[in-house]
Amino acid sequence: MLTTIITEEQWLKLKPILLDLNVYDKPSLKETFLGIIYRLKTGCEWRYLPSCYGKPNTVFKAVRRWSSSGFIYRLFKRLIKNSDVEWISIDATHVRAHQSSAGSAGGDHQCIAKSVGGNSSKIHLAVDAHGNPLEFIVSDGLTHDIKIAPMLLQLLDLKDTELLNADKGYDSEAFRELIHYRGVQANIPRKKNAKTSNSHMNWLIYQTRHVVENTFANLKHFRALSSRYDKLLNSYIGTEALACGFIWLKL
């Protein structure tokens, strides 16, 4: 079962990064990490984790510790290599929060909002020209994309970026000014009721915006991500970072 999670080549690429990030090289390190990946893919409850990955409580404590310290996010950033940021695409997607994710202490700060369709969160994602994830933010499911976009933009290194792709949901003059201030062209179409034209648009590059949708589709193959089971925000951020890092690991 262990060999079906990641290949030996991928583990040899991953282990030096883990050690460089000051993870203690225990004999069970590989089994613990593969247990975390197994749960990411299947979304199973921790207590049902197969015994080949060690004690479920040991694996759970490891992922909680790594999530709360930001270690998994740093691991994701270390896995990014040779990203093509000539143009960047951003978008957001809803994630339904499972009933087990509700009821945590300080629930107002866990980015879960109740809507007509039930409890939900939202993932705001930026990808490079090939659809590989660069940055993300988790918010509650009711906050509009344009309210989170400036924070996502602030996280991005745009020194080598010429153009930023986004759909009409990001049509805001204030947001365009923020993009232009960073020295990047805003490739965002205007809404139908706008008084100005879309003469600024590079429609050929705008058509490549589908790469961010493809990335969402890939990420939602991870059951622990597509349905939010985590009560705590930092745990779910760790889940998202692990899934994004896994995409880079396979390249």
pLDDT in tens, 199-230: 999 999 999 999 999 999 999 999 999 999 99
Give 53 or 108, the one with higher predicted confidence: 53
Q: What is the CATH number of domain 87-229?
A: 3.30.420
- Per the listing, tokens 């499911």 go with 141
Whether the per-residue pLDDT at 59 is higher than 90: the answer is yes
What confidence category does residue 5 fall into, taking pLDDT thresholds of 50, 70 and 90? confident
Confidence (pLDDT) at 103? 72
pLDDT greater at residue 84 or residue 194: 84
Give me the mean pLDDT over the 14-29 stretch: 94
- What SS3 state is found at 133? strand
- How does the average pLDDT of the chain come out, rounded? 93
Contact assessment for residue 163 and residue 133, using Cβ atoms and an 8 Å cutoff:
no
What count of other Cβ atoms lies within 10 Å of the Cβ of residue 74?
A: 15
pLDDT number for residue 122: 96
pLDDT tens by residue, 167-186: 999 999 999 999 999 999 99
| Model pTM score | 0.94
Domain ranges of the chain: 2-69, 87-229
Asked if pLDDT for residue 14 goes beyond 90, the answer is yes
Task: Return the pLDDT at 178.
Answer: 97
Q: Reduce the DSSP state of residue 137 to 3 states and report it.
A: strand
Proportion of the chain above pLDDT 90, given as a percent: 86
As a whole number of angstroms, the distance between CA 99 and CA 111 comes to 14
Distance set, CA 133 to CA 195, 223, 244 (Å): 34, 18, 6
State the pLDDT at residue 105.
67
Q: At what angle do helices 233-249 and 56-68 cross, to 10 degrees?
A: 90
pLDDT the model gives residue 107: 57
Looking at residue 84, its pLDDT comes to 96
Q: Which two three-digit tokens encode residue 231?
A: 């009560």
Whether the pLDDT of residue 61 is over 70: the answer is yes
Residues 6+ apart with CB under 8 A from 250: 10
Q: In which region does residue 197 sit, left (phi positive, over 0), alpha (psi from -120 to 50) or beta (all else)?
A: beta
Q: What is the pLDDT of residue 100?
A: 85
Q: Are 144 and 133 in contact (CB under 8 A)?
A: no
Determine the pLDDT at residue 4: 65
Residue 1: the pLDDT is 46
Residue type, position 188, single letter = I
Please state, in angstroms and rounded to a whole number, the distance separating the CA atoms of residues 129 and 34: 30
Cα separation of 130 and 5, whole Å? 24
Give the range among 1-10, 45-54, 139-148 with minimum mean pLDDT: 1-10
pLDDT at 126 over 80: yes
Asked if pLDDT for residue 104 goes beyond 80, the answer is: no
Tokens for 34, please give them: 């593969």
